[in-house]
Amino acid sequence: GAGVSQTPSNKVTEKGKYVELRCDPISGHTALYWYRQSLGQGPEFLIYFQGTGAADDSGLPNDRFFAVRPEGSVSTLKIQRTERGDSAVYLCASSTGGQETQYFGPGTRLLVL
């Protein structure tokens, strides 16, 4: 079946702008995760959704970052007032439940100029 999809695949924006990154999880997966991967690093956890609610947002770096999942399926990661340091690959993953194996999407490469 279809895997996790993410759009756009690449996003270039200017410092100070607002961006939205979208994630479509595997059909039927109730758990959804966002990670951020900077150059030369492994993915770092940002936020976890179980259903519509954010069960753990401890990884969000500051209040410029926000994520929603209003219907328990598609999720959007929103970044306000982007900074050059936000440049990274943003990964989405989904699973059948909180402790189950996470399956990753291709990521969105964000470049803030």
Partner 1 sequence: AQSVSQHNHHVILSEAASLELGCNYSYGGTVNLFWYVQYPGQHLQLLLKYFSGDPLVKGIKGFEAEFIKSKFSFNLRKPSVQWSDTAEYFCAVGSLGTYKYIFGTGTRLKVLA
How far apart are alpha carbons 45 and 74 in whole angstroms?
18
Residues that bind partner 1 (CB under 8 A): 3, 31, 33, 35, 40-45, 48, 50, 55-56, 58-59, 91, 98-99, 101-107
CB of residue 102 vs partner 1: minimum separation in angstroms? 6
How far apart are alpha carbons 29 and 40 in whole angstroms?
29
How far apart are alpha carbons 44 and 95 in whole angstroms?
17
CB of residue 93 vs partner 1: minimum separation in angstroms? 8
Kindly report the CA angle at 107 between 102 and 33, in degrees rounded to 5? 35
Q: Of 66 and 106, which has the nearer Cβ to partner 1?
A: 106
Kindly report the CA angle at 12 between 11 and 13, in degrees rounded to 5? 115
CB of residue 18 vs partner 1: minimum separation in angstroms? 26
CB of residue 24 vs partner 1: minimum separation in angstroms? 14
Q: Of 33 and 80, which has the nearer Cβ to partner 1?
A: 33
Cα 14 to chain centroid distance, Å, stands at: 20
Q: Of 50 and 73, which has the nearer Cβ to partner 1?
A: 50
